[in-house]
């Protein structure tokens, strides 16, 4: 028997000599093979090793004769990534036609500080605005995971997609069974973040108490999911009692624990928190006439009279009064919001005060913040929730939808957690109200260079992803959409940049210590991470420290698990070649923790790896650092079998 690494255009491989000089393997024997592998492409490269018997071979002194050949194959994926920090930029548009042709330009920017040959671009066409969210069940209809809030975002995403497809009669049995299975697992996972008193928190019982911002979210989505999965009414009753115990005499709800993102809601959260809870209770099915809801409405009305409201609060209250059926107050706020709306290129949207980052300015593109997406989605929900929606309001809402749809990334998500929940809720509601089976569009993308590709979108393929690669050497493209109906088109640019020199909001450093450099698979050292807040606020929101592993290295699991057990970090997640540390907040006082990494594969010419920290609810606040291995004696490259 002999083993062979199959050749491929994706890599170059050379068999390395070993101490065992025998070429083949006889019965009850074993042999190690080693190849020097040099990848030629980025992405997942499949290494295929085939072991097969030979018709005739002399192994030592014993001849082996076989009348047939037996073969076994092993395929091992190898992830090949460019150095630097991974980035993604999308340009999305919801294009609607009514027998006409609409033309738009697509410009692929040239990012500064770009890692050579790291750019990849794609063009996607969807027949539904939720296409990016539904193009692959592994993206939004995925197994819920992570901390309590993130789990609920995935749970709610699953619910909205399932409910939308069901109400528009597009739900297949295959999607239904998978979505319901994910909801069940998400429900069971969320219960692990429940406190004995019925409340929920970001990290579950390890937090001292439940939190008012996340508990209504869980309560609401458990209630609306009852048509699809079993929800324990006793648990729901306990949660409702906890919420009622935190409603004060004036009808306002007490804020227990930190808010989702305090940078948005500020110190006085009477209006936003109470309106948020009232909305959840109404959406969960409680009658508007019930005492908790009526008292909550009295609270927000009194608080709104006492001071000027922000744009965010106006949008939130407009939705609250829409749900409560208070048409006069809803219309007053919508009129007030229309006065401050920005209008450009057929879009209607609201911006909050925010200066573009250095990278945004260099690219000529401004990403919307989580707070801005929430604001626009609340306005959209306030308009669409009206029982007697006029054609004028629907047309106005469609212009907001076009702005919201532009904020989606290639996976159908948005800036953060709560804005993803709200955006999917608003977009699915809009899609239900405007759904039509009588639509058919042709999409053509072309450039001045010899490139042209056409797509056809109809009822049969409206939920399917149609995607092609684009050349990044050509920066200018034009897309033309004709026919009847709407299509969602998206250009995605993925690239890597070298470590930025500037940071905002945080200090971050990383050092190596306690190195053990004994050669092959006996190399280990510690990473010492130091961080603090440098922002205008004394404390950040929840912060995430993302540590990229060096090529060929993996984190030492016991060391990172100990950090979580000891309470130095609230949660640790390992995903692909990254380790994510979640911290409830970062203050101006420096924190420090360390963990171990060890060699897992032999690699040569190891490039430095980066580490970054960012505010989970405001990724424009971030800092970067990098580290290298203190052991440089590795002499092999690629993977060993």
SS (H, E, C) 25-79: CCCCCCCCCEEEEEECCCEEEEEEEEEECCCEEEECCEEEECCCCCEEEEEEEEE
What's 500-627's CATH class? mainly beta
pLDDT in tens, 81-101: 888 888 889 999 999 999 999
The pTM (predicted TM-score) of the whole model is 0.85
Classified as helix, coil or strand, 624 is strand
User: Are 88 and 95 within 8 A, CB to CB?
Assistant: no
Look at residue 51 in the predicted model and tell me its pLDDT.
Answer: 85
pLDDT band at 67, cuts 50/70/90? low
**Rounded (10°) angle between helices 215-224 and 148-167:** 30
pLDDT in tens, 503-535: 788 999 999 999 998 876 678 999 999 999 986
First CA to last CA distance, the chain: 15
The proportion of the chain whose per-residue pLDDT surpasses 70, expressed as a percent, equals 88
490 forms bridges with which residues in the sheet?
Answer: 92, 124
> 19 CB contacts (<8 Å, ≥6 apart)?
none
pLDDT at 480 over 80: yes
How would you classify residue 157: left for phi > 0, otherwise alpha for psi between -120 and 50, otherwise beta?
Answer: alpha
Alpha helices, H only, 385-464: 391-405, 418-434
> 354 CB contacts (<8 Å, ≥6 apart)?
369, 372, 620
Span 453-468, average pLDDT? 90
CA dist., res. 288 & res. 44, Å (int): 53
pLDDT at 490 over 90: yes
Residue whose entry in the numeric block shows the structure tokens 């592993």: 549
CA dist., res. 118 & res. 42, Å (int): 8
pLDDT band at 640, cuts 50/70/90? very low
pLDDT band at 2, cuts 50/70/90? confident
Q: Which residue, 401, 412, 374, 330, is CA-closest to 135?
A: 412
pLDDT in tens, 121-135: 999 999 988 888 776
**Residue 323 burial by Cβ neighbours in a 10 Å radius (0-12, 13-18, 19+):** buried
CA dist., res. 428 & res. 436, Å (int): 14
Instruction: Say how many C-beta atoms besides its own lie within 10 A of residue 192's C-beta.
Output: 11
What value does the mean pLDDT of the chain take? 86
pLDDT band at 362, cuts 50/70/90? very low
User: Are 94 and 486 within 8 A, CB to CB?
Assistant: yes
pLDDT at 78 over 60: yes
Classified as helix, coil or strand, 357 is coil
Dihedral angle sign, alpha carbons of residues 142, 145, 146, 148? positive
From-to residues of CATH 2.60.40.690 in the chain: 500-627
pLDDT in tens, 13-34: 888 877 665 667 776 777 778 8
pLDDT at 365 over 80: no
Q: Where are the beta strands (DSSP E) in 565-606?
A: 571-575, 578-583, 591-599
Look at residue 463 in the predicted model and tell me its pLDDT.
Answer: 83
Between these two residues, 575 and 53, which has the higher pLDDT value? 575
CA dist., res. 312 & res. 303, Å (int): 15
> 181 CB contacts (<8 Å, ≥6 apart)?
none
- Report how many helices (DSSP H) and strands (DSSP E) the chain contains, helices first: 15, 24
């Amino acid at each position: 028997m002999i083993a062979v690494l199959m050749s491929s255009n994706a890599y170059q491989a050379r068999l390395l000599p070993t101490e065992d000089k025998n070429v083949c393997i006889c019965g009850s024997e074993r042999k190690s093979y080693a190849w020097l592998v040099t990848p030629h492409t980025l992405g997942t490269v499949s290494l295929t090793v085939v072991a097969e018997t030979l018709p005739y071979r002399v192994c030592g002194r014993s001849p082996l004769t076989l009348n047939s050949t037996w073969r076994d194959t092993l395929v091992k994926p190898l992830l090949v990534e460019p150095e630097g920090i991974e980035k993604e930029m999308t340009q999305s548009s919801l294009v609607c036609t009514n027998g006409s042709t609409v033309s738009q330009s697509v410009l692929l920017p040239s990012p500064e500080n770009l890692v050579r040959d790291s750019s990849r671009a794609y063009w996607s066409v969807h027949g539904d605005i939720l296409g990016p969210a539904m193009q692959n069940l592994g993206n939004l209809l995925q197994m819920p995971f992570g901390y309590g809030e993130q789990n609920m975002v995935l749970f709610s995403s699953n619910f909205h997609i399932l409910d939308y497809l069901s109400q528009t009669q597009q739900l297949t049995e295959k999607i239904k069974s998978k979505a319901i299975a994910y909801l069940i697992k998400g429900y069971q996972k969320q219960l692990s973040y429940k406190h004995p008193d019925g409340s929920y928190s970001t990290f579950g019982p390890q937090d001292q108490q439940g939190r008012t911002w996340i508990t209504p979210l869980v309560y609401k989505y458990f209630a609306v999911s009852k048509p699809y999965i079993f929800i324990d009414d006793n648990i729901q009753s306990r949660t409702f009692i906890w919420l009622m115990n935190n409603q004060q005499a004036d009808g306002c709800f007490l804020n227990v624990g930190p808010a989702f993102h305090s940078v948005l809601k500020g110190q006085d959260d009477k209006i936003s928190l109470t309106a948020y809870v009232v909305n959840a209770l109404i959406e969960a099915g409680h009658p508007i006439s019930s005492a908790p809801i009526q008292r909550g409405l009295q609270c927000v009305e009194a608080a709104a009279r006492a001071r000027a409201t922000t744009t965010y609060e106006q949008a939130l209250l407009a939705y609250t009064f829409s749900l409560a059926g208070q048409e006069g107050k809803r219309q007053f706020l919508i009129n007030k919001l229309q006065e401050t709306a920005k209008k450009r290129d057929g879009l209607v949207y609201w911006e909050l005060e925010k200066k573009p980052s250095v990278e945004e300015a260099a690219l000529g593109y401004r990403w919307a913040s989580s707070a801005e997406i929430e604001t626009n989605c609340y306005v959209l929900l306030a308009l669409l929730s009206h029982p007697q929606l006029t054609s004028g309001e629907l047309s106005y809402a469609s212009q907001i939808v076009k702005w919201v749809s532009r904020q989606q990334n290639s996976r159908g998500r948005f800036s953060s957690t709560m804005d993803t929940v709200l955006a999917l809720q608003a977009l699915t509601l809009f899609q239900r109200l405007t759904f039509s089976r009588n639509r058919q569009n042709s999409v053509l993308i072309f450039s001045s260079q010899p490139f042209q590709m056409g797509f056809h979108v109809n009822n049969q393929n409206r939920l399917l992803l149609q995607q092609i690669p684009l050349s990044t050497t050509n920066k200018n493209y034009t897309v033309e959409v004709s026919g009847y109906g709407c299509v969602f088109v998206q250009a995605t640019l993925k690239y890597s940049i070298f470590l930025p020199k500037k940071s905002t909001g945080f200090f971050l450093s990383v050092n190596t210590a306690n190195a053990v450099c004994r050669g092959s698979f006996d190399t280990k050292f510690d990473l010492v991470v130091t961080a603090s807040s440098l922002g205008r606020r004394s404390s950040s929101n929840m912060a995430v420290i993302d540590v990229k592993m060096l090529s060929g290295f993996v984190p030492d699991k016991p060391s990172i698990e100990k950090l979580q057990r000891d309470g130095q970090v609230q949660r640790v997640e390992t995903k692909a070649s990254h380790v994510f540390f979640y911290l409830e907040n970062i203050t101006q006082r420096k924190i420090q923790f360390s963990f171990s990494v060890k060699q897992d594969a032999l690699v040569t010419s190891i490039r430095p790896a980066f580490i970054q920290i960012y505010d989970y609810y405001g990724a424009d606040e971030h800092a970067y650092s990098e580290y290298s291995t203190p052991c440089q004696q590795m002499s092999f490259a690629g993977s060993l079998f």
